[in-house]
């Protein structure tokens, strides 16, 4: 049993704590949050220890691994501290909003044999996974195009947006990672177009966008489109399409159940899609922990690595450059 | 080009006339209706001759075949007259509401080499046909169960019901035929249960039912369920399911187009199904004429024969006996 | 926290033990199995006590409730013992294979205020529940027909079949219960037709059937069809359709994920359906415990009661009578 | 009855001739083709006159309108000749491959009151039409994004490609038009990325591409993505998605029938999509003639006008400029 401590007891930390607690091969060895009452509450609910500080967690000999679900600015520090303390790491995305900080972190942890896994949950989704496996097995011949539709159910609060680092680094980063995961090859060019369509006022105040379209291309010419919106009222819209010479694969949305309704004016009406990531990617979040335990116990390579986190951020940087300069940008322009 | 005359210019006769007129291997050689203005109107619309009487049609040397779409009580007479006159016959179902009359007609036309095809349009539906072909090709292994859902979009007017001969002979007869078509083997036992649920008053006046469930069984034990209703407000509901040892086949409903709508409370909402048989079986009605031309010109055997029409009526009779006696009835009890 | 002990550590008992263990409002207070090693193994996996006997469980003051998942012949005894000991009961179906034994049990526990809930998991399925709720809310007007498709993924081993009490009491009993749940009214008439189609040899040896069709009717004329097969190679097939005057509701099958495949010869190909009840009704099994905790803690009435278990068995008896006598049977003929 | 002559008896001309012939409000008044035997063959099949020259058609007093389905380089000439001769025009896309020629044609026919309708068949598709109508009716609130998937079933022959004017002017032109149709507002910026992925050799020889992705933006910020491929082996892939603040609309693909297949390894397998435009847009081609008759007889404005044809070509030009310069291009840069 892998003894894991969850750092950060917000919404996503609470979910991770519950998932670790019920995982057959992991134990929740405690939780920590800067805000002590949050930690205490989760600790009580799970019947585990609330650590007084992150330092205490890293110092504890009864802890094998940490799951970092704290505020973004702390991620890189905690990764460095965990590695220094000999703990395996499962860290929520993004590593940091600043590429220099990520590169510095990479330099510091270089050479470690400890597993560091990034929280790119979509890589673990059963539908997306099955699509990729079928593609790798040759089912659609040569892959030519990837289309990713990724829409959140609504605009987050202003406070969230102020800290999130911009749509491309906060939301699209998942799609940039998924694009890399599906393309298999590295994208070398990026184009971005974005607007504040849902709330133009917020757009002016925060210089933020809420609707975006991207086009990526790999060295061999494979093409990828991503479209983002923060306003899918019909539920979290998460689709991936892989188009190849011998066929197509479509990993589609998931409904809470399969009831269809028929009336004098409609047929086949279903319920809204799973509301948001906690619901839609429930199985993926569990599989993520599964994969992490395999990394620690069996020496497996993380399906989503630190380098994957860094690469996704580079694509976000390239996309911002494209947005500013209204042109197709080479990824090498920002990755140095 | 097969020179066909359409007898009967009601709703279904008008459709047949238009279909024959635009068929690449058939010509509309005229129309006839007891109600002369109806015939004149269709004749004018299609630019063809309106015959003054059925006798004139049968006597005409420029007519190769007749499509009988007149009132049910005339069907058997016209079949006999057509065969006597050497014309091929495509006749709307049912042959007659009375089994004795059907048997007498069968005796009279016995031995004819002229094609007589019944208007069991569903046998010609692309989806149903493909299901049967896949089943016959062994795709689902041994067939065990057939489930037929057959629901009309609404109650017909009282006047129609008074002449229609009862739900089993008027509506279910299509399903009895489809059951035989899919089971391949002959059903030997029938059970029926029926009620007047939509309009109990009408039920009392006409001794008519509007909702029914049937179970059929063949000699080798294959099972078939039919369910009928006259009140599918979401559109004409026409489904066939073939269940076998190696798989299942489902010929599902057809929508007018593939638009799906998504809102804050619904997803994947489609339009109501094709309204009724003229819309749903449009392609089948065309294919029916295609098949008929093949029968006349190439000597093909009708996919829906006179005997199929007789057999379907026998199943309706057995079903009425079952309804009265509340028991599983042997088909041989009514077929003699 | 409701302290529950699971009696019986077979496949379904193991699942229940895991579900209780992770339920937020219940605690797994131990397990028991006649076969001590089975109990020890589950106890070790869950970190709980293995009781040495059922008597010990009933005698323990630290146990609030029992979940009976032992062999069918012990169900009625354990229910009586549990009630006598003041423990709430959640019992797997069926109560017993013999209606007299069920009636005797009913007499013995008469008047108890302790909750007794039956394991009719389908009542707790999100899709089926939403269908019923929509119907009760008037969405489809008056309900006229219920169609239940219920097919297992394959024939169970001969040993299982010998003890199971026959298809109607073992498998269809779930569908009889679901029919009652959806019809709201009590069925008063039953017709059954069944064959051994998959394995005729087994049919001869055990007088068992593997494919069946049923028609039920309520006092007001509502109709219900159930079709059963033990050989759905494409996965556990579990559908419920509610047809009414203003619309239709279809609770359809659930796939493991929403990947669809497209090739030169196929489109929209999905994975097989969830394999069997443990997969398909996972959420229902959890919701079942949820409902049970509500019964004990908040005095809620069980959604699936002892009387529901008895009624479903009566329908199975009526169906067997119909099968033998080849006729529509009144439920009152067997319920006395 | 509108008397129409079809110019051009190739694949699409033959289809148009048959559609006009069976249209209830139009008559096929003859056909013409540079290759006389082609014209003769179609004329014989439809029982109409084969004109000896286009001039004869324009000079004939018995012709009200022409449907131009000849080779692209003749379109503009025939439009000018038809207008000069007082005939209404329904012209296949594109008007010409050269924008200057189109502008010259526009100048020449300026001020005519005769209807000129462009063959942008997709505007007449029942699904796409219903999507647009729902959007205009406010069903999805403010439109933010349009996603157009448009993939041909296979690479056309090299000879076709040499004359076609390039993917953007030949194939994407339909999508550019559809984008304008759905966005309602005019796109003001275009980005294009394209490759020869299916047949790189052909790409080098003809400087042609076969796979492309586009992003368009309107003045108010609405975004549109188009993706093209010439290699959809699963059938002609034609989807349009409209994303708005209150919902989403998806006009999806059409199958030849609704049979779904289930096996031990697959569920819900459907047939390939309609093969190509003749099959997929059959109803649209008929509706197109319907709309054209309305233009001539009732003075309706063409749903797809000459100016729409010119605008779509401008977008293609802007897209080629973007492809060459690897940047977001202003449409005004090419439209002058």
Number of Cβ within a 10 Å radius of residue A204: 10
Q: Between D46 and B145, where is the model more confident?
A: B145
Q: What angle do CA A186, A192, A195 make, to 5 degrees?
A: 150
Residue D243 to residue A223, Cβ atoms within 8 A: no
> Strand C329-330's sheet: what is its strand order?
A259-262, C248-251, C237-244, C143-151, C223-229, C211-218, C187-195, C329-330
D166 shares its domain with D306: yes
**Is the pLDDT reported for residue A306 higher than 90?**
yes
Q: Is A146 contained in some domain?
A: yes
Q: Between A71 and A202, where is the model more confident?
A: A71
Give me the phi and psi of C101, to 5 degrees please: -65, -40
Residues 297-326 of C with CB under 8 A from B: 326
Give the distance from CA A116 to its chain's centroid.
Answer: 14
DSSP class of residue C9? Answer: -
C78 shares its domain with C169: no
Contact (Cβ atoms closer than 8 angstroms) between residue B276 and residue B153: yes
Residue A197 to residue D222, Cβ atoms within 8 A: yes
Q: Which of B238, B267, B271 to mutate to test the interface with A (most CBs of A within 10 A)?
A: B267
HSE-CB for B29 with a 13 A CA cutoff: 19
Q: What is the mean pLDDT of residues D228-256?
A: 97
**B258: contact with D, CB 8 A cutoff:** yes
The residues that bridge with B215 in the sheet, in sequence order, are B191, B225
D228 shares its domain with D318: yes
- The confidence score (pLDDT) of residue B22 equals 87
ipTM: 0.96
Confidence of residue A275 (pLDDT cuts 50, 70, 90): confident
**D249: contact with B, CB 8 A cutoff:** yes
Residue D149 to residue A147, Cβ atoms within 8 A: yes
Alpha helices for chain D (secondary structure H): 11-22, 36-46, 54-59, 75-84, 99-109, 126-136, 158-164, 167-170, 172-183, 200-206, 277-280, 282-298, 306-325, 332-335
Contact (Cβ atoms closer than 8 angstroms) between residue B74 and residue B11: no
Confidence of residue C204 (pLDDT cuts 50, 70, 90): confident
B75 shares its domain with B154: no
Number of Cβ within a 10 Å radius of residue A163: 11
Q: What is the mean pLDDT of residues C152-172?
A: 93
Q: Which of D231, D269, D272, D275 to mutate to test the interface with C (most CBs of C within 10 A)?
A: D269
Count of domains observed in chain B: 2
Name subunits touching D (3+ CB pairs < 8 A). Answer: A, B, C
**Is the pLDDT reported for residue B336 higher than 80?**
no
Residues 147-176 of C with CB under 8 A from A: none
Question: pLDDT tens-digit profile of D259-288?
Answer: 999 999 999 999 999 888 999 999 999 999
Residue A252 to residue C258, Cβ atoms within 8 A: yes
What would the two tokens of residue D264 be? 């031990």
Q: What is the C-alpha separation between B308 and C279, in angstroms, rounded?
A: 45
| Cβ-based contacts of B191 with chain C (< 8 Å) | 191, 193, 215, 328
Residue B271 to residue D130, Cβ atoms within 8 A: yes
Question: pLDDT tens-digit profile of B179-189?
Answer: 999 999 999 99
D7 shares its domain with D152: no
Over its C-alpha atoms, chain B yields an Rg (Å, rounded) of: 20
Is the peptide bond prior to D94 cis by the omega test (within 30 degrees of 0)?
yes
Q: Between C82 and C163, where is the model more confident?
A: C82
Closest CA to D79 of D52, D114, D48, D51: D114
Q: How far is D130 from chain B (nearest CA, A)?
A: 7
The residues that bridge with C6 in the sheet, in sequence order, are C31, C67
SS3 B270: strand
Task: Among C255, C262, C272, select the one facing D234 at the smallest CB separation.
Answer: C262
Measured between CA atoms, the residue of chain C closest to residue B143 is C197
**A262: contact with B, CB 8 A cutoff:** yes
- The confidence score (pLDDT) of residue C171 equals 96
Average pLDDT, chain C: 96
Residue C267 to residue D271, Cβ atoms within 8 A: yes
* Beta carbons within 8 Å of A125's beta carbon, 6+ residues apart: A251, A281, A283, A284, A287, C257
> Look-up: residue for tokens 């073939």?
B242
Average pLDDT, chain B: 96
Contact (Cβ atoms closer than 8 angstroms) between residue D167 and residue D194: yes
Residue C250 to residue A256, Cβ atoms within 8 A: no
Closest CA to A264 of C141, B28, B111: C141
Alpha helices for B156-211 (secondary structure H): 158-164, 167-170, 172-183, 200-206
Contact (Cβ atoms closer than 8 angstroms) between residue D229 and residue D156: no
**D125: contact with B, CB 8 A cutoff:** yes
Task: Among A266, A271, A272, select the one facing B270 at the smallest CB separation.
Answer: A266
Angle between the N-to-C axes of helices B306-325 and B99-109, in degrees from 0 to 180, rounded to the nearest 10? 160
| Cβ-based contacts of C237 with chain B (< 8 Å) | 248
Question: pLDDT tens-digit profile of B100-120?
Answer: 999 999 999 999 999 999 999
State what percent of residues in chain B have pLDDT above 70.
100
Confidence of residue D204 (pLDDT cuts 50, 70, 90): confident
**B3: contact with A, CB 8 A cutoff:** no
**Is the pLDDT reported for residue A211 higher than 80?**
yes
SS3 C272: coil
Q: What is the C-alpha separation between A152 and A171, in angstroms, rounded?
A: 9
Contact (Cβ atoms closer than 8 angstroms) between residue D306 and residue D295: no
Among residues C85, C114, C143, the one where a domain terminates is: C114
Residue C144 to residue B229, Cβ atoms within 8 A: yes
D107 shares its domain with D129: no
- The confidence score (pLDDT) of residue A202 equals 80
Task: Among D193, D227, D245, select the one facing A198 at the smallest CB separation.
Answer: D245
**Is the pLDDT reported for residue C336 higher than 80?**
no
Confidence of residue D22 (pLDDT cuts 50, 70, 90): confident
D187 shares its domain with D278: yes
Residue B252 to residue D259, Cβ atoms within 8 A: yes
Residue C144 to residue B223, Cβ atoms within 8 A: no
**A111: contact with C, CB 8 A cutoff:** no
Residue B269 to residue A273, Cβ atoms within 8 A: no
> Strand B259-262's sheet: what is its strand order?
B259-262, D248-251, D237-244, D143-151, D223-229, D211-218, D187-195, D329-330
State what percent of residues in chain A have pLDDT above 70.
100
Closest CA to D313 of D123, D161, D118, D148: D118
Q: Could you tell me the pTM of the whole model?
A: 0.96
Q: Is B311 contained in some domain?
A: yes
Q: What is the CATH number of the domain that holds D202?
A: 3.30.360.10
Confidence of residue D14 (pLDDT cuts 50, 70, 90): very high
| Cβ-based contacts of D139 with chain B (< 8 Å) | 261, 263
Q: What is the CATH number of the domain that holds C51?
A: 3.40.50.720
Number of Cβ within a 10 Å radius of residue A327: 17
D18 shares its domain with D78: yes
B316 shares its domain with B189: yes
Give me the phi and psi of B298, to 5 degrees please: -115, 5
Burial of A60 (0-12, 13-18, 19+ CB in 10 A): middle
Contact (Cβ atoms closer than 8 angstroms) between residue B26 and residue B2: yes
- The confidence score (pLDDT) of residue A274 equals 87
Q: Is A296 contained in some domain?
A: no
**Is the pLDDT reported for residue C201 higher than 90?**
no
B105 shares its domain with B209: no
Number of Cβ within a 10 Å radius of residue A27: 16
Question: pLDDT tens-digit profile of C58-115?
Answer: 999 999 999 999 999 999 999 999 999 999 999 999 999 999 999 999 999 999 999 9
Among residues D82, D114, D146, the one where a domain terminates is: D114
State what percent of residues in chain D have pLDDT above 90.
94
- The confidence score (pLDDT) of residue C274 equals 87
Q: What is the C-alpha separation between B121 and C219, in angstroms, rounded?
A: 37
Q: What is the C-alpha separation between A1 and A28, in angstroms, rounded?
A: 10
HSE-CB for C230 with a 13 A CA cutoff: 25
Q: What is the mean pLDDT of residues C310-335?
A: 97
Q: Is A294 contained in some domain?
A: no
**Is the pLDDT reported for residue A22 higher than 90?**
no
Contact (Cβ atoms closer than 8 angstroms) between residue D31 and residue D42: yes
Question: pLDDT tens-digit profile of D284-307?
Answer: 999 999 999 999 999 999 999 999
Among residues B114, B142, B175, the one where a domain terminates is: B114
Burial of C327 (0-12, 13-18, 19+ CB in 10 A): middle
Q: Is B58 contained in some domain?
A: yes
Q: Is A237 contained in some domain?
A: yes
HSE-CB for D254 with a 13 A CA cutoff: 23
* Beta carbons within 8 Å of D129's beta carbon, 6+ residues apart: D123, D287
Q: What is the mean pLDDT of residues C167-173?
A: 96
Q: How far is B195 from chain A (nearest CA, A)?
A: 23
Residue A271 to residue B267, Cβ atoms within 8 A: yes
Query: 3-state SS string over chain A?
Result: CEEEEEECCCHHHHHHHHHHHHCCCEEEEEEECCCHHHHHHHHHHHCCCECCCHHHHHHCCCCCEEEECCCHHHHHHHHHHHHHCCCEEEECCCCCCCHHHHHHHHHHHCCCCCCEEECCHHHHCHHHHHHHHHHHCCCCCCEEEEEEEEECCCCCCHHHHHHHCCHHHHCHHHHHHHHHHHHCCCEEEEEEEEECCCCHHHHHHHCCCCEEEEEEEECCCCEEEEEEECCCCCCCEEEEEEEECCCEEEECCCCCCCEEEECCCCECEECCCCCCHHHHCHHHHHHHHHHHHHHHHHCCCCCCEHHHHHHHHHHHHHHHHHHHHCECEEHHHHHC
**Is the pLDDT reported for residue C203 higher than 90?**
no
DSSP class of residue D266? Answer: -
Q: Is A55 contained in some domain?
A: yes
Q: What is the C-alpha separation between A25 and A6, in angstroms, rounded?
A: 16
Q: What is the C-alpha separation between C116 and C79, in angstroms, rounded?
A: 8
Residue A258 to residue C271, Cβ atoms within 8 A: no
Task: Among C198, C213, C247, select the one facing B225 at the smallest CB separation.
Answer: C213
**Is the pLDDT reported for residue A336 higher than 80?**
no
- The confidence score (pLDDT) of residue B99 equals 96
Q: Is B119 contained in some domain?
A: no
Question: pLDDT tens-digit profile of B193-221?
Answer: 999 999 988 888 899 999 999 999 999 99
> Look-up: residue for tokens 């049968």?
B58
Question: pLDDT tens-digit profile of B9-59?
Answer: 999 999 999 999 989 899 999 999 999 999 999 999 998 999 999 999 999
Is the peptide bond prior to A94 cis by the omega test (within 30 degrees of 0)?
yes
Residue D144 to residue A217, Cβ atoms within 8 A: no
Measured between CA atoms, the residue of chain B closest to residue A275 is B264
Name subunits touching B (3+ CB pairs < 8 A). Answer: A, C, D
A103 shares its domain with A136: no
What would the two tokens of residue B141 be? 């292994």
B70 shares its domain with B207: no
Question: pLDDT tens-digit profile of D88-109?
Answer: 999 999 999 999 999 999 999 9
**D275: contact with A, CB 8 A cutoff:** no
Containing structural domain, residue C110:
2-114
């Amino acid at each position: 049993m892998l003894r894991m401590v969850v750092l950060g007891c917000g919404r996503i930390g609470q979910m991770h704590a519950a998932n670790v607690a019920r995982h057959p091969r992991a134990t929740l060895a405690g939780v920590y949050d800067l805000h002590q009452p949050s930690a205490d509450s989760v600790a009580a609910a799970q019947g585990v220890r609330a650590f007084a500080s992150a330092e205490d967690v890293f110092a504890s000999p009864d802890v094998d691994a940490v799951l970092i679900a704290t505020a973004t600015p702390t991620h890189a520090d905690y990764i460095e501290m965990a590695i220094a303390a000999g703990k395996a790491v499962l860290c929520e995305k993004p590593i940091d909003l600043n590429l220099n900080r990520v590169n510095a972190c990479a330099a510091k942890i270089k050479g470690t044999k400890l597993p560091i896994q990034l929280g790119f949950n979509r890589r673990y989704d059963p539908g997306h996974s099955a699509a990729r496996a079928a593609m790798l097995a040759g089912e659609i011949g040569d892959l030519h195009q990837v289309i990713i539709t990724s829409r959140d159910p609504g605009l987050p609060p202003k406070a969230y947006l102020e800290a999130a680092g911009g749509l491309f680094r906060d939301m699209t980063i998942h799609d940039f990672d998924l694009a890399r995961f599906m393309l298999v090859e590295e994208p070398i060019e990026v184009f971005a177009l974005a607007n504040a369509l849902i709330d133009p006022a917020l757009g002016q105040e925060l210089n933020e966008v809420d609707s975006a379209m991207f086009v990526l291309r790999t060295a061999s010419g494979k093409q990828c489109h991503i479209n983002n919106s923060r306003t899918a009222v019909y539920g979290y819209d998460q689709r991936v399409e892989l188009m190849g010479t011998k066929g197509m694969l479509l990993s589609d949305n998931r409904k809470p159940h399969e009831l269809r309704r028929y009336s004098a004016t409609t047929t086949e009406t279903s319920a809204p899609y799973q509301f948001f990531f906690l619901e839609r990617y429930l199985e993926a979040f569990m599989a993520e922990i599964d994969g992490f335990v395999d990394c620690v116990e069996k020496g497996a390579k993380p399906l989503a690595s630190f380098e994957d986190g860094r690469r996704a951020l580079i694509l976000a940087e390239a996309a911002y450059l494209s947005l500013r300069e209204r042109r197709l940008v080479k990824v090498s322009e920002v990755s140095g």
